[in-house]
Structure 1
Amino acid sequence: MRTGRPSASTNQGNLVVADRRPSGRVSPTAQGSLELMTSDSRSRHMRSHLVRRWRWPVLLTAFALALAACAEDEPTVDPDVDVEEPVEEEEEPEEEEEPAAIAEGGTVLFGDEQEPTILNGFLIDGNSLVTSKVFNNQFPGTYVIQPDLSLEPYLIDGEAEFTEDPFSVTYTIRDDAEWSDGTPITVDDYIYTYETIMDLDAAWADQITSRAGFELIEDFETDGDKTITFNFTEPYAPWQLMFANILPAHVLDGEDFTTVLNDELPDVSGGPFVFDSWDRGTQLRMVRNDAYWGDEVALDEIIMRYLPDTTTLTQQMLGGELDMYDPQPQIELVNQLEGAAERIEFEVGLGPVWEHFDFNTLVPGLDQDYVRQAIALGINREQIVDTLVAPVDPDAVVLENPFWMANTEQYEPYYDQWSFDPQAAQDLLEENGCELGDDEVYVCDDVRLSFRVGTTGGNERRELTQQLMQADLAQVGIEITIENAEGAAFFELLNTPENCDGICDYDIALFAWVGSPNPVGNANIYGCDGFDEDEPTVRPQNWTVFCDEELTNIMDTANSTVDPDENADLWNEAAAIMADNVPVIPLFQQPQLLAWDNSITGPQLNATNQTQFWNSAEWAFTQ
């Protein structure tokens, strides 16, 4: 038996950024007119031959499904009346459609409007959905998040075992799980992964995206090569989300983790595919892992084509130059795909991907809660949803909670106190001593309320969102200037102060976080660990630099609360504090779309950070 113990800890968590794309120069967005779409267009995409719509439950560590059955009363028959017995006609059995024969081999060309910054999914610069599409294919996890947000064991042989008091988790790795070079996947790989995350003296220590849950591990014990038990100092509610990727110790031990996985991945894989090459700005190639321990992989390779423009991607998809893509749905995109229904299938659904405005609370003016509140009152979020989102997904509504999505039973609409009211926004500013200048822009404590808003350039829906916001706030007396950058260049602006030499170069940012079955990651995004000489010590993803110690304590308590109802209540308490202070303005759940050539079988929309590649081993061309 082997044992181990960490040396130090921090309290962090993470979500995955939905967008990172190739770097590009900053360019102002053209500010033109906007044609509004009416609600009559919202249901048009329901005509599709395959638009499978679903609503998903939120899972914590367990969930219950209650079923109720009832029967209608049997009809009564008057005994004096002859009743003709109905003659049952025999129905001819429907002929079951023969499944299409699977063709061996082939290349799937997957189009993406985003490109990784680096390939290391453990580091902050690799904390993106597009990185996960590659990383998850090579480095398997303990569980896989399914499209309905359930968690299925992957690397382990059945469910992990856990005890509540004291809290511990035991993993038994599948006997047949091995790396592509024939080396078994063992407890050594779990230990290496854990120690890489928790090595606070390493050169990469400040670049680790999250230590959520790992910092609570007190020690571990092994039983042979395939069983390991981690003992925790306290319960950790979303323990099933830990060890989402396991690293090969025999390949990476001794390497500089700061750089070793940035530009290429090793030729050793525990997943269905293995990295082959990356031509930055053009494409990335993954080839089949012929030694994959799971079910046989049909495809020869997957090539990721990177094109930072949704319109161009759609043209290539419609023209047969791509086999699959998952763009952010734009106005009329669904109609275009419907027009190609003879060749293209697609799914649309709402998952835990939420669009929002983030405030840099170090910026003068935005450091005042009443200014952020006035901005929230001055933006017509309902118009944004009705205009830009509902035409794609009629289920879309304004999101009024940053932690629970609108289609979950835990959802409480705390942000509805900031429903669109431009007069109330002006009254709030004036109550706090702001005066309207000759240029129709308010000045508060000598700070003119003029701010920049940035997002990922080339994304039509986001650019139109900015224009609607700009027009709304002009009526309130707040000036908005649009400054966008393509993908990675935009996200390089978003960081914590210590990584920006003080104040990061953004005022308001428009982007999306990709969540998971539990809000655990928000403790890393909106949490802080006190103040140092009146300056907040924020956690690695807290780009707003908003620090509220009560909020942090509640989020941390939630993450150690296993009971689902108590956990949900705590996260709603945290959401109420967020709504009162407005460091962020939720907009809507971002509709997710996956489209593929109907000669391919296997794809299924997964609107979580598991990505659309969650079942890439099952993709295959039909004969």
Structure 2
Amino acid sequence: MKPYSTSKAALSILALGMGLGLAMGSVPAMAAKMDATIGMQLEPPNLDPTGGAAAAIDEVVYANVFEGLTRFGADGSILPALAESWDISEDGLTYTFNLREGVKFHDGTDFNAEDVKFSLDRARADDSTNAQKALFADIASVEVVDPATVKVTLSKPNGAFLFNMAWGDAVIVAPETAAENAANPVGTGPFTFTEWAKGDRVDLSRNPDYWGEAVRLDKVTFKFISDPTAAFAAMMAGDIDAFPNFPAPENLPQFEADPRFSVIVGSTEGETILAMNNKQPPLDNIKVREAISHAIDRQAIIDGAMFGYGTPIGTHFAPHNPAYVDLTGQSALDPEKAKALLAEAGVSDLTLSLKLPPPSYARRGGEIIAAQLRDVGIETEITNVEWAQWIEDVFKGKNFDLTIVSHTEPMDIGIYGRDDYYFQYGDPDFKAIMANLDKATDPATRTGLMQSAQRKIADDYVNGYLFQLARTGVADAKLKGIWPNSPTQANDMTAVYWED
């Protein structure tokens, strides 16, 4: 970044112009700002939310470029989107969606029920590359009733089906453009894709033909700044208007003291965990996993890696969810118990790989955890990896012992029932709990099952549960409408505007 400078000559001309303007009484009022530059620490690997697991994809395109049948509101509620309403059969198996009419994709083609059928069938196909294919597993058939009506029949009741359809992985795409969405996304949203300058930014423009309420910004730029120091400098210089997930929480007090900025602190769906490979010896031994859990000082990680921002968790569930159970005491810091468990397991001189993706919670937290594990006799070999390598090596290849990652998908405890998921748990009893949850519609019954699921994975010490990631953001004080919380991984710009 070049330092800003102005020559003496330029300053003289500027002063003269200002003087003349004042003398003539003709200084025009500044036009309202109609664009916003949003900072992000991570660049998405592609721009297709139906074909990638990275949270950064949704952070750019969710609700901005792509829309689903339903969507998450800022408060986590499920709202109508491309489906303006729906009817559910008494047996809970058939959902009839009444679609909005007059909607067009950004290439000018019409949106209709055929696009919904294509999208859902594509997501659940045997060769689907959707990162959340399990969201569609209960769909038995998708039938086009007429251009504005689609009927989805499930193989079994699923009380979370409308919730599932709000995920970014469930957005509706067109058959004509689906194959190109990774580099040239075409959706139905209020912003259209303009340009992706790899390694730098993604530009979006206001969609003049949007079916719904028009957005108030003409242009949004998502600027990728991976280095926390550079992110701080960019905000202070005014190069960035907002950084909703600011990567250097230690700088927030400086922004709070500066009237030019507003600091936004909220909650996320991000359960930050020390993930363990449950099928990799000796981590296939519950005593070893429990020992690791008792070696962890959560608050020290929150303080050291996140500067105090974060809520300790003892299971994979968000503390702000009404069904949350506080199980932190079950895996409380107890180094002596950790050593005893390792001895009971017959494990000594243990060295484990610890692969850390780029976010500061992982890199900083990994160093703290390595020291904590060393205190109970476990050494770690730390490898810092970029996201693409993490996806291939850890998430897909399962080539790891330990890793640290924040799972930012909403209420995603169901991942523990997947046999092929990267930490390789897939316990039959847990699967049975989730199967009953899928069938349940009574709120009290669902709460009880969710709490049973939380206790089950805590009892099995599947992973080391660290903290719920806080949403710590900073914005220009005049930029309004940024989500304070993150009910899903998104930078929803549809209600963002500049205050006069």
TM class, shorter-chain normalised?
Answer: 0.7 to 0.9
1:422 maps to a residue whose letter is: P
**Given the alignment of the two structures, is residue 471 of structure 1 paired with residue 371 of structure 2, yes or no?**
yes
For residue 289 of structure 2, give the secondary structure of its aligned residue in structure 1.
helix
- Alignment partner, residue 172 of structure 2: 247
Point out the more displaced range, 591-600 or 315-324.
Answer: 591-600
**Could you report, residue by residue, the CA deviation over 1:82-134 in whole angstroms, capped at 9, with x for unpaired residues?**
xxxxxxxxxxxxxxxxxxx99666331111110111222112xx222210133
2:400 maps to a residue whose letter is: Y
Among 37, 40, 54, which residue is 1:112 paired with?
A: 40
Q: Under a length normalisation based on structure 1, what TM-score does the superposition of the two structures give? A: 0.70
Q: CA deviation at 1:423?
A: 0.8
After superposition, residues 332-411 of structure 1 pair within 5 angstroms as 332-340=250-258, 342-389=259-306, 391-392=308-309, 396-402=310-316, 404-411=317-324
- Alignment partner, residue 310 of structure 1: 228
Maintained 8 Å contact 2:323/2:450: no
For residue 448 of structure 2, give the secondary structure of its aligned residue in structure 1.
helix
Identity %: 24
User: Matched residues in 2 for 1:155 and 1:610: separation?
Assistant: 19
User: Matched residues in 2 for 1:354 and 1:166: separation?
Assistant: 30
Among 144, 159, 163, which residue is 2:89 paired with?
A: 163
Q: CA deviation at 1:592?
A: 0.3
Gaps of 5+ in 1: 1-100, 435-441, 443-447, 529-537
- Alignment partner, residue 228 of structure 1: 150
1:592 maps to a residue whose letter is: R
- Alignment partner, residue 336 of structure 2: 423
After superposition, residues 179-218 of structure 1 pair within 5 angstroms as 179-200=105-126, 202=127, 205=128, 207-218=129-140
User: Matched residues in 2 for 1:601 and 1:331: separation?
Assistant: 21
User: Matched residues in 2 for 1:491 and 1:195: separation?
Assistant: 25
**Could you report, residue by residue, the CA deviation over 1:299-351 in whole angstroms, capped at 9, with x for unpaired residues?**
222111112112211221121111111235544222021132x2212311123
2:35 maps to a residue whose letter is: T
Maintained 8 Å contact 2:249/2:307: no
Q: CA deviation at 1:461?
A: 4.1
Q: Under a length normalisation based on structure 2, what TM-score does the superposition of the two structures give? A: 0.87
For residue 391 of structure 1, give the secondary structure of its aligned residue in structure 2.
coil
Maintained 8 Å contact 1:400/1:586: yes
Among 522, 533, 546, which residue is 2:413 paired with?
A: 522
Maintained 8 Å contact 1:103/1:621: no
Among 420, 430, 440, which residue is 1:561 paired with?
A: 440
1:251 maps to a residue whose letter is: E
**Could you report, residue by residue, the CA deviation over 1:232-284 in whole angstroms, capped at 9, with x for unpaired residues?**
222111111243344343523xx6x4xx3222324xx3111111221221111
Q: CA deviation at 1:477?
A: 0.9
Give the 3 Å change call, closer, same or farther, for CA 622–430 of structure 1 in structure 2: closer
Maintained 8 Å contact 1:323/1:597: yes
Maintained 8 Å contact 2:250/2:307: no
- Alignment partner, residue 244 of structure 2: 326
**Given the alignment of the two structures, is residue 138 of structure 1 paired with residue 39 of structure 2, yes or no?**
no
- Alignment partner, residue 6 of structure 2: none
What RMSD over aligned residues (CA atoms) do the two structures have, in Å? 2.4
**Could you report, residue by residue, the CA deviation over 1:52-73 in whole angstroms, capped at 9, with x for unpaired residues?**
xxxxxxxxxxxxxxxxxxxxxx
After superposition, residues 16-95 of structure 1 pair within 5 angstroms as none
Maintained 8 Å contact 1:173/1:186: yes
- Alignment partner, residue 599 of structure 1: 478
Maintained 8 Å contact 1:397/1:588: yes
User: Matched residues in 1 for 2:489 and 2:210: separation?
Assistant: 19
Q: CA deviation at 1:564?
A: 2.0
For residue 483 of structure 1, give the secondary structure of its aligned residue in structure 2.
strand
Q: CA deviation at 1:151?
A: 1.6
Maintained 8 Å contact 2:35/2:217: yes
User: Matched residues in 1 for 2:245 and 2:443: separation?
Assistant: 33
**Given the alignment of the two structures, is residue 487 of structure 1 paired with residue 387 of structure 2, yes or no?**
yes
User: Matched residues in 1 for 2:467 and 2:291: separation?
Assistant: 19
- Alignment partner, residue 621 of structure 1: 498
Give the 3 Å change call, closer, same or farther, for CA 464–219 of structure 1 in structure 2: closer
Maintained 8 Å contact 2:252/2:474: no
User: Matched residues in 2 for 1:166 and 1:106: separation?
Assistant: 45
- Alignment partner, residue 584 of structure 1: 463
- Alignment partner, residue 265 of structure 1: 185
For residue 189 of structure 1, give the secondary structure of its aligned residue in structure 2.
helix
After superposition, residues 473-552 of structure 1 pair within 5 angstroms as 473-496=373-396, 500=397, 504-516=398-410, 519=411, 521-523=412-414, 525-528=415-418, 538-539=419-420, 542-552=421-431
Give the 3 Å change call, closer, same or farther, for CA 355–601 of structure 1 in structure 2: same
Q: CA deviation at 1:184?
A: 3.2
User: Matched residues in 2 for 1:363 and 1:211: separation?
Assistant: 25
- Alignment partner, residue 609 of structure 1: 488
Specify the structure having the higher radius of gyration (Cα).
Answer: 1
Give the 3 Å change call, closer, same or farther, for CA 104–293 of structure 1 in structure 2: farther
| Greater relative contact order, per chain length (Cα 8 Å cut-off, separation 6+) | 1
